[in-house]
Amino acid sequence: MLLALRDIGKAWLIKRTGERVHALQSITLDVHPGEFLILLGPSGCGKSTLLQIIAGLEAPSSGEIRFPDGGGNGKLTSMVFQDYALFPWRTVMGNIVFGPEVRSVSRILREERARRLIELVNLKGAEHRYPHELSGGMRQRVALARALANDPQILLFDEPLAALDAMTRRVLQDELLRIWGETGKTFVYVTHSLQEAVLLGSRIVLMTAHPGRIKQIVDVPLARPRHATGRAEAEMLDRLDGLLGEEVKRAMVV
């Protein structure tokens, strides 16, 4: 086990009304090495908040996060944000070396590592371009390489493909699977797309909204490569749809 979440809760206080909103309640979850874990749920189910808590960018109101293998030297997690969050004043290369740079890795080492990652994410030739000179898909490749540059054990994805057009999304989904396979890293991936969950995930955590809780954890035993139109995939989709349907409806009413 790579990461253990025990009874995590997160509540916000709305100052104007004095109301307490429970974004997350009693989240208990183990993340296993090398898996592609999907956090799936409707808007407002707290899946992004949960990701921020795992990243250490937000503190939980209650509960405990443990990394049983201990810290070591590498960074444990790295985040890939939905809107890329690239530094506009840094080139592709400059963005990717940011992590090692603030961790005082020598210039030669970090640039060599960056060059390898640029090759991994298929960005060769774009090293010296600025983010505004890249397409959305290329930007997300940079964001992925930048997250990998710290050599984290777990990569956290916050709806990374939501801002892209359908064609680019398909291409990048395959790229993500390839990179997941090549690096052997653990992926924790937030999405609200059922299709994406079935296509990518080895396990799917279904979440419900108001408050955000885990409804069910579903294994996805389908063989890879998977196909959006495959029969087994369609059956899995149906099953998830049934489980999630009522939740989405409820979330929309509230």
Partner 1 sequence: MTASHLRQIASVAGLLALWQLLVQTGKLSELFLPAPLSVLAAMWEMTRSGQLPWAVLVSLNRVVQGFVYGAVAGVVLGLLAGAVRWIEDMLDPWVAAVYPIPKSALFPLFLLWFGLGDASKIATIAIGVLFLVLVNTITGVKSINPVLLKAAQDLGASRLQVFTKVILPGALPNIFTGLRLGAGMALILVFITEIEATKAGLGFLLWEAFQLLDTTKVFAGVVTFGLLGVATTWLLQWLERVGCPWLQRSN
Contact set with partner 1 (CB under 8 A): 55-57, 75, 77-79, 81, 83, 85, 87-91, 98-99, 101-103, 130-133, 146-147, 150
Q: What is the rounded CA–CA span in Å between residue 134 and residue 130?
A: 7
State the minimum distance, in angstroms, from the CB of residue 102 to partner 1. Answer: 4
10 with 49: CB under 8 angstroms? yes
Instruction: Write the single-letter amino acid at 62.
Output: S
Picking from 238, 153, 33, 7, the residue whose alpha carbon sits closest to that of residue 218 is 238
> How many C-beta atoms surround the C-beta of residue 80 within 10 A?
24
Q: Which is nearer to partner 1, 50 or 236 (CB)?
A: 50
State the minimum distance, in angstroms, from the CB of residue 70 to partner 1. Answer: 17
Q: Which is nearer to partner 1, 46 or 131 (CB)?
A: 131
Q: Which is nearer to partner 1, 132 or 231 (CB)?
A: 132
State the minimum distance, in angstroms, from the CB of residue 22 to partner 1. Answer: 23
CA distances to 9, 49, 64, 65 from 59, in Å? 10, 10, 10, 10
Q: Which is nearer to partner 1, 12 or 87 (CB)?
A: 87
State the minimum distance, in angstroms, from the CB of residue 48 to partner 1. Answer: 12
State the minimum distance, in angstroms, from the CB of residue 65 to partner 1. Answer: 15
Picking from 35, 68, 33, 29, the residue whose alpha carbon sits closest to that of residue 51 is 29
Beta carbons within 8 Å of 120's beta carbon, 6+ residues apart: 145, 148, 179, 182, 183
101 with 146: CB under 8 angstroms? no
Q: Which is nearer to partner 1, 128 or 239 (CB)?
A: 128
207 with 46: CB under 8 angstroms? yes
Q: Which is nearer to partner 1, 25 or 150 (CB)?
A: 150
State the minimum distance, in angstroms, from the CB of residue 162 to partner 1. Answer: 14
